[in-house]
């Protein structure tokens, strides 16, 4: 008998019929003799609907109250799924994050899980029940409801699998696994049977939202066996592997992109020690995360400095940069919130030269201008105008032959 954690995303529980379909899948696992813990998201669109309500209510959203509101979406689906399971003759019990005691820090809207009390869950499982737990939510030490950031139900699933030492954490979604790139942008994208943990982490952090980045981090920390698969079709999905089998690594495993970025530039800053600190310090003090950074020294001993932030932080960052510019005596501040970041990912890149030049050549052939470039051992990212997103991703997918069998 195995203990399995299954997480079902918003589309998979999008309406009554789909919840009944999920109940059937869960019951099937249960009837094969397994213990099953199920984590569910809110019905698709529900979290966005709740966010819009809050926006209509006030311009100054209180993050604690926002969490009280957003967490309701998942409370609906746990109850409905438990009802559907009972209808199928499976004893089931639903719990909110606070009831299980998924203890988090108090960072509302982006809380981190600190601890899970798995005792009540085990007790239910031992009595033959299926346990249905609300994803995306927890409770802080003072009893305040918290949420884990968008896509956070994935993290709930993985954290529970770690706490319960589950045989596997299965992430059920609306695609049948992890693809070489988002199949909505490149219909020819290929499903990967397996992907290394390192690559999955990189893909997620560079914008592939098929699993929340924190869930991947959590899985790595506790070595949770993780699989992504479809709730609508049968299949083995994609397994995230932990072994580093270098010999068999393909050069490029996939292409990730992020449409949520914006870039800002401060030009003609007198070049002296501490400039980077003076520019970026006030941005970090405002809790704005910085992604890529480029600094260039001109011949006249001034420096140009460009960096990217999340698009939601663009206006605020631009305002702060203007103030910094005045105090540093810089020449000009500018910005662009119509850019995207596109990244090639693959652990095999480490040992292969020429991938960057092939990438730049491919984009040059399509006459796509590169605004920024950054590289690491296992990824190359470029920033381009958002109008080129689909063209660039498709051209790169073709150039690196990701559609066919991988080049070894």
| Secondary structure (3-state) at 83 | helix
> Rounded to whole angstroms, how far apart are CA atoms 257 and 253?
14
Residue 137 contacts by C-beta under 8 Å, 6 or more apart in sequence? 67, 70, 71, 74, 96, 97, 98, 102, 145, 146, 147, 148, 152, 156
DSSP string, 302-362: EEEEEEEEEGGGHHHHHHHHHHHHHHHT-SEEEEESSEEEEEEE-GGGGG-SSHHHHHHHH
Can residue 173 be called a binding residue for ligand ADP (CB under 6 A)?
yes
Contact between 97 and ligand ASP (CB under 6 A)?
no
The Cα 194–Cα 180 span in angstroms is 11
With binding defined as CB under 6 A, does residue 9 bind ligand ADP? yes
Residue 54 φ/ψ, nearest 5 degrees: -65, -40
Choose between 178 and 275: whose C-beta lies nearer to ligand ADP: 178
Strands 372-376 and 339-345: unpaired
For the chain, how far is it from start to end, CA to CA, in angstroms? 38
Q: Is 179 in the site for ligand ADP (CB under 6 A)?
A: yes
Among 84, 210, 252, 382, which residue sits at the site for ligand ADP (rule: CB under 6 A)?
Answer: 210
Task: Give the residue with the Cβ less far from ligand ASP, 232 or 360.
Answer: 232
Which position has the token pair 């405002």? 286
Q: Does 174 bind ligand ADP (CB under 6 A)?
A: yes
We find the least distance from the C-beta atom of residue 147 to ligand ASP, in angstroms, to be: 8
Contact 293, 306 (CB under 8 A): yes
To the nearest whole angstrom, how small is the minimum distance from the Cβ of residue 229 to ligand ASP? 16
Contact status: 249 vs ligand ADP (CB under 6 A): no
Q: Report, in Å, the least distance between residue 47 CB and ligand ADP.
A: 10
Q: Which of 11, 94, 196, 381 binds ligand ADP (CB under 6 A)?
A: 11
How far is the C-alpha of 102 from the C-alpha of 147, rounded, in Å?
11
Site for ligand ASP contains 406 (CB under 6 A): no
Residue 97 contacts ligand ADP per CB under 6 A: no
Of 34, 41, 47, 308, which lies in the binding site for ligand ADP, with binding defined by CB under 6 A? 41
H and E: helices and strands count for the chain? 13, 20
Site string for ligand ASP, 63-82 (x = CB under 6 A): ----------x---------
245: tokens are 């089998």
Give yes or no for residue 335 binding ligand ASP (CB under 6 A): no
Residue whose C-beta lies closest to ligand ADP: 9
Q: What are phi and psi of 231, to 5 degrees?
A: -90, -5
**Rounded to the nearest 5°, which phi and psi values hold at 48?**
-65, -40
d(CA 395, CA 186): 10
Binding flag, residue 14, ligand ASP (CB under 6 A): no
Interface pick for ligand ADP out of 156, 181, 249, 303 (rule CB under 6 A)? 181
153 forms part of the interface with ligand ASP (CB under 6 A): yes
Identify the residue among 73, 151, 152, 348 touching ligand ADP (CB under 6 A). Answer: 151
For position 73 contacting ligand ADP by CB under 6 A, the verdict is no
| Residue 47 sits in the site that holds ligand ASP (CB under 6 A) | yes
Residue 14 as a binder of ligand ADP (CB under 6 A): the answer is no
Site for Mg ion in 136-155 (CB under 5 A): 151
CB of 181 to ligand ADP, least distance (A): 5
Task: Confirm or reject binding of residue 10 to ligand ADP (CB under 6 A).
Answer: yes
Distance CA 189, CA 183 (A): 5
Half-sphere exposure in the Cβ direction for 189 (13 Å, CA): 24
Is the CB of 211 or the CB of 283 nearer to ligand ASP?
A: 211
State in angstroms the smallest separation of the CB of 149 from ligand ASP: 8
The footprint of Mg ion (CB under 5 A) covers: 9, 151
The footprint of ligand ASP (CB under 6 A) covers: 9-10, 41-42, 47, 73, 135-136, 150-154
């Amino acid at each position: 008998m195995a203990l399995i954690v299954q997480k079902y995303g918003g589309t998979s529980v999008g309406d009554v019929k789909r919840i009944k379909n999920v109940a059937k899948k869960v019951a099937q696992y249960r009837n094969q003799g397994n213990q099953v813990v199920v984590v569910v998201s809110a019905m698709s669109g529900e979290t966005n609907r709740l966010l819009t309500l809050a926006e209509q209510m006030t311009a100054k959203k209180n993050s604690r109250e926002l969490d009280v509101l957003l967490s309701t979406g998942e409370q609906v689906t746990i109850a409905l799924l438990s009802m559907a399971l009972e209808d199928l003759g499976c004893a089931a019990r639903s719990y909110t994050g606070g009831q299980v005691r998924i203890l988090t820090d108090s960072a509302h809207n982006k809380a981190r899980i600190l601890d899970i009390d798995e005792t009540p869950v085990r007790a239910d499982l031992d009595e033959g029940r299926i346990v249905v737990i609300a994803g995306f939510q927890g409770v802080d030490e003072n009893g305040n409801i918290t949420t884990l950031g968008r896509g956070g139900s994935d993290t709930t699933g993985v954290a529970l699998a770690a706490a319960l030492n589950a045989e596997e954490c299965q992430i059920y979604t609306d695609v049948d696994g992890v693809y070489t790139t988002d199949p909505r942008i490149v219909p020819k994208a290929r499903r990967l049977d397996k992907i290394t943990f390192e690559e999955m982490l990189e893909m997620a952090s560079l914008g592939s939202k098929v699993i929340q980045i924190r869930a991947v981090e959590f899985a790595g920390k506790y070595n949770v066996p993780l699989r992504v698969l479809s709730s609508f079709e049968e299949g083995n999905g994609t397994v995230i592997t932990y072994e580093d089998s270098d010999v068999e690594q393909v050069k490029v495993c996939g292409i990730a992109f992020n449409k949520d970025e914006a870039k800002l530039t401060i030009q003609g800053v007198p070049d002296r020690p501490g400039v980077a600190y003076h520019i970026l310090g006030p941005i970090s003090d405002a809790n704005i995360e910085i992604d890529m950074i480029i600094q260039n020294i001109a011949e006249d001993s001034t420096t140009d400095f460009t960096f990217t932030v999340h698009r939601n932080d663009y206006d605020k960052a631009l305002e702060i940069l203007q103030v910094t510019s005045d105090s540093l005596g810089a020449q000009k501040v500018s910005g662009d919130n119509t850019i995207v970041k596109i990244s090639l990912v693959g652990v095999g890149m480490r040992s292969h030269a020429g991938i960057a030049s092939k990438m730049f050549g491919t984009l040059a052939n399509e006459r796509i201008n590169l605004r920024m470039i950054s590289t690491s051992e296992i990824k190359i990212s470029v920033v381009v105008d958002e109008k080129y997103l689909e063209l660039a991703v498709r051209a790169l997918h073709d150039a690196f032959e990701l559609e066919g069998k991988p080049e070894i």
